Amino acid sequence: MTLLTQRRRSNPMTYWKLLSIVVCGIGAIVAGVALHGRILKVRAARLDHVTAPAPYFPPGSAWTQDISHAALDPQSSAIIGWLAAAGGWGRGRMQVDFSIRVLQASADTPKVRFRKGNGWISPDADNVAEIPLPPGGGIEGQSGYECNVEENDCHLIVVDRGAGKLYEAYQANEASNAIVANFLAVWDLNRVYPPSGRGEQCTSADAAGLPIAPLLFSADELATGSINHAIRFILPNQRMRAHVYVHPATHAGAPRGPDLAPPYGARFRLKANYDLSRLSPAAQVVARAMQRYGMILADGGNIALTAQSDADTQAKYTDVDFGPHDLQDLKVTDFEVVGGGPPIRLTDNCVRNRF
C-alpha cells in the first residue's frame, strides 16, 4: 500500500492536497528540464572555439552607430503602411540569402591582373592594375572565380586587413588569368567615411553606394552571440521610392515606387517591444542587431537579408542552428523607419571624394 493510498483512506481531503503537490512538483521538474534545454540551446549559439570578427572600419562608421533611440522619419508610419500594403518583403516574407563570400587576403596572397569589363561604370569605379585573389575562393554563388555576368550579380569581395583594403567588385569573372568586372570599389579600412561616402551620387558594388561586407552578418557573429553593425537588406525595385536616396546611401539604383515607398539608404529598426522569445536563439542575435543598429536598404532584389557565406568562416550555420527562413515571422509592421535626413534627388552625376 502506497503512502497516497493510506492518506486517501484516512483523510480524502488530505489525499487530494498531497496528490496536487506531487503533480505540481512533477510539472515543475518537467518545466525545469524544458527551461534547462532552452538555456542549453541559447548557449549553443556561443561556440568556444570561435572568436568575434574584427570590425572592418574604425569606430564612428555610419553602419556601426547605435540607432536604438534615434528619432523616427516623419513619414515612418506612412512608409511602413504603404510597404505592408504593397506586399512587404520580397517573396512575401523575410528570407536570408547566404551566397556572398568574403575572402581573406594577406601579404602572401597571389595577385592577378584586373581588367575593365564592357559595361564599366565610370567615374564611380576604382581602376587598379591588380587585386589579391585567395586560392580556393569564389565569386558570389559560385564554387570558383568563373561567373556568368549576364545572369548574375557576381559579387567578388576580398578583404586585406594588413593592407587596409576592401575590394568589392560587381559582375566579376575570371578570364585569361585576370579578373574582369564592370565595377570595382576599393574601400580604405582605416577611414571613417563621411555621409557622402566615396562620393555623392556615386554607386558601389551595391546600388546604394555602400560597402557590402560590413553589412553582412556571419555564422561567426551568431556563434559569439553579437552582431555589432547594421544589416544589409534589399527590396524589389517597385517597392523603393524612385529617383531619391538618403544618407548613408550615396546613390539609388532603378527603383520604381511612389513617394511613400522607402528610398535607398532607408534605415529600418525592429521595434523595441518586439517579443524576441518568438524567435530561435540564433535569430534573436540578428533581431537584437536590428533593434540596436537597424538594417539599411542597399540594393534591389527579392530576398530581404544577406548573410555572409559560411564557406570562409570559423563556424557554420548548422553549428548555430540558423536557416534561410528563421526570421520569416518578422513582418514589415514590426519595424519603424529611422530618420535619414532630407531625400537627395538622384542625378547620377558622381563626384568622387578625394581624401
183 in a structural domain:
yes
277 in a structural domain:
yes
pLDDT of res. 45:
52
- Same domain assignment for residues 34 and 71: no
- Rounded to whole angstroms, the Cα distance separating 123 from 349 reads 9
Are 47 and 223 in contact by the 8 Å Cβ rule? The answer is yes
Residue 42's pLDDT band, with cuts at 50, 70 and 90, is: very low
The model's pLDDT over 43-88, given as tens digits with 9 standing for 90+, comes to 445 688 899 999 999 999 999 999 999 999 999 999 999 999 999 9
First-to-last C-alpha distance (Å) of the chain = 89
- What's the whole-model pTM score? 0.87
What is the domain range of residue 232?
Answer: 62-352
In whole numbers, what is the pLDDT of the chain averaged over residues? Answer: 90
- Same domain assignment for residues 160 and 212: yes
Give, in order, the Cα–Cα distances in Å from 160 to each of 103, 113, 123, 130, 218: 9, 17, 24, 13, 18
Residue 95's pLDDT band, with cuts at 50, 70 and 90, is: very high
- Same domain assignment for residues 249 and 328: yes
56 in a structural domain:
no
- Same domain assignment for residues 8 and 142: no
What would the mean pLDDT of 91-107 be, rounded to a whole number?
A: 97
285 in a structural domain:
yes
For cell 555602400, name the residue. 210
228 in a structural domain:
yes
Task: Specify the number of domains making up the chain.
Answer: 2
The model's pLDDT over 292-308, given as tens digits with 9 standing for 90+, comes to 999 999 999 999 999 99
103 in a structural domain:
yes
pLDDT of res. 47:
86
Give, in order, the Cα–Cα distances in Å from 93 to each of 37, 208, 317, 319, 337: 29, 22, 20, 24, 18
